[in-house]
Structure formats: structure tokens, C-alpha cells
């Protein structure tokens, strides 16, 4: 019975090694295929990157009036609502309201306010 247990143990070890090596080879092949797919996808999509940048810029420009009209929080910067100069980006922990009034005007109305809906002159 001892020889039988030893034979079973050797057979299981051999089978485990075989499975491990097979899985390792399979994983390497899958990684190689994934790299080939990534390279092919990059080659296929590279021409579209410039186009996507243009679309993003177009969307950003066309949504500007909506963002600048809605973004200034009425309680914090009511004088900035709808202003073409409103920036409203956070840098670190600081909100830059606009170049003229980095922290926002303290008045109820802003002397430099210009409508975001006004057509820009070329």
C-alpha cells in the first residue's frame, strides 16, 4: 500500500507540473495576443485621435454658454451667472472665478459682466 501511495503522489505531482506548465504557456500566449491586439487597435485608431480632439473642442465651444450660465452657484457668485468672463475652474483647492475677480466680485452686480450669449466679433 505504501508503494501505491507513493505512485499516486508522484502521478499527482507530475500532473500538477504538467498543468502548471500548460497554464503558464497559455497565459504567455494570451499576453502575446493581447499585445498584438493593442498594437493593431492603436494603428487603427491613431487617425481618429486628431479628429476626436477637434470634436471635443467643438463640443466645448458650443456648450460654453450653457456651462457659464449654469455653473456659477447662485449663492456663491450670483453676479457671475451668464458672464462670458466666468472661468470657474478649481486649481488645487482654490476656485478661479475670473481674471478680473479671481475670488468673485463682492457686489450684487459686476461692472465687467458681459453676456455669454453675445456673438463674438472676429
- The domain limits of the chain are 2-63, 71-117
Cβ-contact 78, 106 below 8 angstroms:
no
Please tell me what DSSP assigns to residue 72: S
pLDDT (mean) for 56-62: 77
Confidence category of residue 122, pLDDT binned at 50, 70, 90: very low
Confidence category of residue 10, pLDDT binned at 50, 70, 90: confident
What is the reported pTM? 0.40
Q: How many angstroms separate the CA atoms of 116 and 122, rounded?
A: 15
Confidence category of residue 72, pLDDT binned at 50, 70, 90: low
Confidence category of residue 113, pLDDT binned at 50, 70, 90: very high
Amino acid at each position: 500500500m505504501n508503494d501505491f501511495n507513493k505512485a499516486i503522489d508522484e502521478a499527482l505531482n507530475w500532473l500538477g507540473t504538467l498543468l502548471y506548465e500548460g497554464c503558464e504557456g497559455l497565459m504567455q500566449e494570451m499576453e502575446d495576443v493581447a499585445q498584438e491586439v493593442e498594437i493593431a487597435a492603436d494603428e487603427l485608431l491613431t487617425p481618429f485621435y486628431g479628429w476626436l480632439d477637434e470634436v471635443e473642442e467643438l463640443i466645448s465651444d458650443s456648450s460654453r454658454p450653457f456651462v457659464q450660465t449654469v455653473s456659477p452657484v447662485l449663492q456663491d457668485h450670483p453676479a457671475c451667472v451668464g458672464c462670458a468672463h466666468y472661468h470657474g475652474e478649481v486649481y488645487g483647492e482654490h476656485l478661479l472665478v475670473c481674471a478680473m475677480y479671481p475670488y468673485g466680485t463682492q457686489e450684487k452686480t459686476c461692472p465687467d459682466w458681459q453676456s455669454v450669449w453675445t456673438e463674438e466679433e472676429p
